[in-house]
Homo-oligomer: A and B are copies of this chain.
Amino acid sequence: MDLEDARVTVVGLGLIGGSLALGLQPRCRGLTGVDPDPKTLELARQAGIQVRELEPALLGADMLILATPVRESLRLLQTFRSHPPAVALLMDVGSTKRQIVAAMEALPAHVAAVGGHPLCGKERSGFQQAEAGLFLGSQFVLTPCSHTTPEGLRLAEQLVSALGASILRMAADRHDRLLAAASHLPYLLAAALMGYVEPLGEQDPALWEVVASGFLSTSRLAASDLTMMVDILATNQDMTLSALSGAQAALEQLRKLLADGSTGQLREHLQPLQQRRLSFQDRRGFMHGA
């Protein structure tokens, strides 16, 4: 089976699931969306997506994509143990992968499954933010496991290509370790910044007048959807804590350098970090605040 012959069901029509639905609909035999929220269903219908209840949507699917928050995906995978879907590929798009892949491996042996994680996002969440082109030019991690069949993997790769993204294949463990540093830690730093300034702004509201682009950039991730983020932190707790401790050590090192007052040493420490960060300046979508 190829993607163009497949009936695809997407469970969860938020930013990522909605964008998957919009992007895949013209590239597959039929697409069905599932979501518990009536407003989301109405928006999806208006955008031309066929929506159904979970059970009938599962029955008719060749490919099943879970685009729910990680712990909801885990709950669904748990129910699939006794009622496995008869699909050519079961996939998820959650931001942490070890627990998902473990839950896939706990399914009956005939269920072909692969973990997925598209590395893209937006300021705001929800179907109203969804767009078919969201994945264009971005990386899409696939984390194969013992339940990944050659046909399933091929379908997953066709899906990534259809969305205009690049495939990055890696083990779930490595994914979670890298993403703890590249994504979950930045979220915590943004939240800590907001946690520090919030009471200051109550003392002197002029603070909110002087926040400019730098502050907005550093704090941006603190606006992330909380259900999604808390699920991510809870399902990657050990590696996120390890990244957080590492960042705390890096911050303490900066504090000492600043307190010592040697601007020469401070500059020497900052220089390679500046150079590394400058090397990303021209990368995908960055200049447009993506």
Q: Which residues of A contact B (CB under 8 A)?
A: 119-121, 123-124, 138-139, 141, 168, 170, 174-175, 177-179, 181-183, 185-198, 200-201, 204, 206-207, 209-224, 226, 229-230, 233-234, 237, 240-241, 243-255, 258-259, 261, 263, 266-267, 269-274, 276-278, 280-281, 283, 285-290
Question: Is chain A's binding surface mostly helix, strand, loop or mixed?
Answer: helix
Q: Are B196 and A182 in contact (CB under 8 A)?
A: no
Q: Are A182 and B198 in contact (CB under 8 A)?
A: no
Q: How far is the CB of A10 from chain B (nearest CB, A)?
A: 21
List chain B residues, Cβ under 8 A from A190: 218, 277
Q: Are A226 and B182 in contact (CB under 8 A)?
A: no
Q: Are A233 and B218 in contact (CB under 8 A)?
A: no
- Distance A86 CA – B195 CA, assembled complex (angstroms): 47
Q: Are A193 and B189 in contact (CB under 8 A)?
A: yes
- Distance A241 CA – B121 CA, assembled complex (angstroms): 33
- Distance A112 CA – B182 CA, assembled complex (angstroms): 50
Kindly report which residue of chain B lies nearest to residue A195, judged by CB atoms: B250
- Distance A215 CA – B276 CA, assembled complex (angstroms): 13
Q: How far is the CB of A156 from chain B (nearest CB, A)?
A: 18
Q: Would A230 and B195 be within 8 Å (CB), given that A251-B189, A274-B222 are in contact?
A: no
Q: How far is the CB of A240 from chain B (nearest CB, A)?
A: 7
Q: Are A220 and B223 in contact (CB under 8 A)?
A: no
Q: How far is the CB of A128 from chain B (nearest CB, A)?
A: 14
List chain B residues, Cβ under 8 A from A211: 182, 280
11 A-B pairs whose Cβ atoms sit less than 8 Å apart in the complex: A123-B287, A139-B212, A189-B189, A192-B250, A195-B253, A211-B280, A223-B278, A224-B274, A241-B258, A251-B251, A288-B288
